[in-house]
Amino acid sequence: MNEQPALLVEDLTFRYHRRSEPSIYDISMRLAPGEILLLAGASGCGKTTLMRCTNGLIPRVYRGELSGKVSLFGTPVEKLSMAELSQNVGTLLQDPERQIVGSYVVNEVAFGLENLGLPRGEILQRIDSTLSYLGISHLRDRENFYISGGEKQKVALAGVLVMQPRILLLDEPLASLDPVSAQEALRLFRRLADDGIAILLVEHRVEDVLAIQPDRVLYLEEGRQMYYGDAEGLLQVVDYRRVKLPASWAFERARLDPPPPVFLPALPPPSDLPLVAFKDVRFQYKPELPEVLRDINFQVYPGDVVAILGHNGAGKTTLVKHALGLLKPTQGQVLLQGRDTRQITVAQAAHTIGYVFQSPTQMLFAPTVAEELAFGPRNLRHPPAQIEKDVHWAIQSVHLEEELHTPPLALSFGQQKRISIAAVLAMRSRILMLDEPTAGQDYWNYQAFMDAILQMPGFDSVLFITHDLDLAVIYANRILLMYNGRLVADGTPQEVLADEQRLRQCNVLPTSLLRLNLEHYPHTGRFLRAEALAHFTQPV
């Protein structure tokens, strides 16, 4: 292709001032108008740093030692003003909470255009066109505080697209989206590329992105360029234990390797005494707004590993916040170990339930990771020796021991997510609740810390909200399926996930791993990860 590249990176190396080693080494790649380049790699491997070099935040905002070249349409980035960069490069961040500044959706989408001084009529026309393009016109006049994390992601994307950029940088755009919304987003990205926009797409959900046939893939490990080429070549060279490949690929390649260790949860045996009980719960944030929860009835027992599935805006996060007492029912009751949550404080509830927020920026504040992890246990008045032991276990569980003296907010989004999980692990609550624990996480890390959580004694039950159906397939022994504020299914993974029609109605799409497990279920009698399934040859 002789066309001038939209983005050209040559021998790029960068080291942050706070770091002793570079975050990226000798990166070289090119991206033409109308192309999609998938940037993949483990959390903290340098993907976000490369994006910051592209949109000019390095070296203008993030300081350090920089060598090599980054050019946009033939012009070095350092020669472009921030105003010029903002009109050519649109960036969607991993965490929409960091990007959204307006109180209302319409104000958020208008923000960039207003800064350009465009006429009011043109601003409104472009807002309405962009919201319609993304299928979120119904959110136009909503307050951003009252929409779901996935909806916030779409609003943040609208604020980028309304600027009509020539290059689009997407940092984990699928992290907060339900499967149907993720597919719609990917089709949108392909359509934008077909219309001439150059797209650099950072994503851990490699299998999903492969469906839109990215033109090239750049794969990084520890800041180094390990692969640059077509998608087919990536499947041949990457480690299936570190990158989430289609289940059939992982299944076949795992057959050639020794069997993986057997996963044995350490949760207590089932009990008839519920830890949490929802009784006819209904909830709405304001009288003039629709109900978010409707007639919710279920119990959580010791030994439960519960995955909560459903579309963006189904009410999943609102449901979990009721268990902790952060929200109180409009009608009905929520009981925590037999006590009505209206009668106990959030601090009292924290002795029983540890809650990891969807956005780590809502949790992290301490000057160092070590102080962040010790904060909760100190407030619960745990003994100093126990705090030290639990902090050590928690940081090991998320594989970030080397970051104990680093400010949490200086880490990547994926690393911040793992620190927020470790901060709750260190509290040793009886029930662990996780909101989108795999958002921003690479395949190996999210399996490692989920394995660690479920194999360590101390938790009676674990609940997690997720759009990653495979996380539910691998780890859950119970599924709650939600749709429009109602609980439409509650049962074992085999019972709930075998009903494909109901899943699709709830914006949950079957994955290659689910299909593989359903195919082999008559012989296995349980659901397994692909590499374990490859070695499970004996009938139960």
Indicate whether 209 and 231 sit together in one domain. yes
Indicate whether 77 and 191 sit together in one domain. yes
Indicate whether 500 and 515 sit together in one domain. no
Contacting residues for 116 by C-beta, under 8 A, at least 6 apart: 87, 163
Indicate whether 441 and 381 sit together in one domain. yes
User: Among positive and negative, which fits the CA dihedral 373, 377, 378, 379?
Assistant: positive
Indicate whether 243 and 355 sit together in one domain. no
Indicate whether 315 and 189 sit together in one domain. no
Q: State pTM to two decimals.
A: 0.82
pLDDT surpassing 80 at residue 3:
no
Indicate whether 314 and 200 sit together in one domain. no
The total of structural domains in the chain comes to: 3
Report the pLDDT averaged over residues 393-420: 87
**121 falls in which pLDDT band (50, 70, 90)?**
very high
Indicate whether 227 and 330 sit together in one domain. no
Indicate whether 44 and 183 sit together in one domain. yes
Q: Which helix (H) or strand (E) holds 165?
A: none
Using CA atoms, how far apart are residues 170 and 38, in angstroms rounded to an integer?
10
Q: Would you say residue 261 lies in a domain?
A: no
Please give the single-letter amino acid code of residue 441: Q
Per the prediction, the chain carries an average pLDDT of 89
pLDDT surpassing 60 at residue 524:
yes
Q: Would you say residue 136 lies in a domain?
A: no
Using CA atoms, how far apart are residues 441 and 447, in angstroms rounded to an integer?
9
Rounded alpha-carbon distances, angstroms, from residue 451 to 114, 244, 265, 286, 448: 48, 16, 8, 40, 5
Which of 46-55, 239-248, 304-313 has the weakest average pLDDT?
A: 239-248
Q: Please report, for the domain that includes residue 434, its CATH number.
A: 3.40.50.300
pLDDT (tens digit per residue) in 240-272:
888 888 999 899 888 888 888 766 677 777 777
Report the pLDDT averaged over residues 174-194: 86
Helices (H), 316-442: 316-324, 346-349, 369-379, 384-397, 413-425
Q: For position 12, what pLDDT does the model report? A: 97
Burial class (CB in 10 A: 0-12, 13-18, 19+), 494: middle
36 or 173: which carries more pLDDT confidence?
A: 36
Whose CA is closest to 364, among 426, 291, 416? Answer: 416
What's the token pair of residue 463? 């609940």
Report the pLDDT averaged over residues 101-111: 92
Pair 478, 492: CB distance under 8 Å: yes
pLDDT (tens digit per residue) in 469-493:
999 999 999 999 999 999 999 999 9
Q: Would you say residue 125 lies in a domain?
A: no
Pair 28, 225: CB distance under 8 Å: yes
Q: Would you say residue 311 lies in a domain?
A: yes
Domain that holds residue 391: 276-504
The SS3 assignment for 440 reads coil
pLDDT surpassing 60 at residue 539:
no
**Angle at alpha carbon of residue 324, lines to 323 and 330, rounded to 5°:** 60
Indicate whether 330 and 391 sit together in one domain. yes
Using CA atoms, how far apart are residues 127 and 282, in angstroms rounded to an integer?
34
Q: Would you say residue 362 lies in a domain?
A: yes
Indicate whether 25 and 172 sit together in one domain. yes
What's the token pair of residue 359? 């956005």
